[in-house]
C-alpha cells in the first residue's frame, strides 16, 4: 500500500487544472506523463501533508481502486499511462476536500 504525502496540481492538455493527493513516486509518473504528452504540466504544491483520518481514508480508496504505476517497474516509466483518479461523491469526495482545506489548497 502506497502512502500519500503530497498535493500536486495537474494541468490537463486542455489547460484545465485539478489537485491530486499523491506521493513522490506518483509525481514521477506524472512528470513522465508530461514528457509523453499525456498531461500538460504537474507541480508539487505541498509536501509532507499531515496523516489525518481523511488522508488515510482517501489513501485506502486509491490503493484499493487503482493499480498504481511505480518508478521501480520499467514498463511503467518507459510507457506511463496517465489515469485521473475518480473522486466519488460521498465520503471519498468529502475526504478529498477536507485534505485540501486542511492544507489551504483550492
pLDDT at 41: 98
Is residue 45 classed exposed, middle or buried when 0-12, 13-18 and 19+ CB atoms within 10 A define those classes?
middle
Distance in angstroms (rounded) separating the CA atoms of residues 41 and 13: 8
Contact 82, 76 (CB under 8 A): no
Is residue 24 classed exposed, middle or buried when 0-12, 13-18 and 19+ CB atoms within 10 A define those classes?
exposed
pLDDT(100) > 80:
yes
Q: Is 77 within a domain?
A: yes
For residues 65-88, give the mean pLDDT: 84
Cα dihedral 35, 41, 47, 50, rounded to 10, equals -120
Contact 91, 48 (CB under 8 A): no
Domain that holds residue 93: 6-103
Domain tally, the chain: 1
Q: Is 87 within a domain?
A: yes
Q: Is 15 within a domain?
A: yes
Q: Is 69 within a domain?
A: yes
Q: Is 73 within a domain?
A: yes
Provide the whole-model pTM.
0.91
Reduced to 3 states (helix: H, G, I; strand: E, B; else coil), residue 62 is helix
Q: Is 1 within a domain?
A: no
Q: Is 55 within a domain?
A: yes
- Choice among 25-39, 42-56, 67-81 with the minimum mean pLDDT: 67-81
pLDDT at 71: 73
Q: Is 97 within a domain?
A: yes
Amino acid at each position: 500500500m502506497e502512502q500519500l504525502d503530497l498535493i500536486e496540481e495537474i494541468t490537463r492538455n486542455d489547460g484545465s487544472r485539478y489537485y491530486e493527493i499523491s506521493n513522490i513516486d506518483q509525481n514521477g509518473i506524472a512528470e513522465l506523463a508530461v514528457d509523453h504528452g499525456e498531461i500538460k504540466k504537474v507541480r508539487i504544491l505541498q509536501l509532507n501533508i499531515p496523516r489525518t483520518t481523511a488522508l488515510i481514508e482517501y489513501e485506502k480508496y486509491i490503493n484499493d481502486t487503482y493499480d498504481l504505476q511505480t518508478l521501480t517497474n520499467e514498463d511503467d516509466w518507459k510507457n506511463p499511462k496517465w489515469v485521473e483518479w475518480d473522486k466519488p461523491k460521498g465520503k471519498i469526495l468529502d475526504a478529498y476536500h477536507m485534505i485540501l482545506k486542511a492544507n489551504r489548497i483550492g
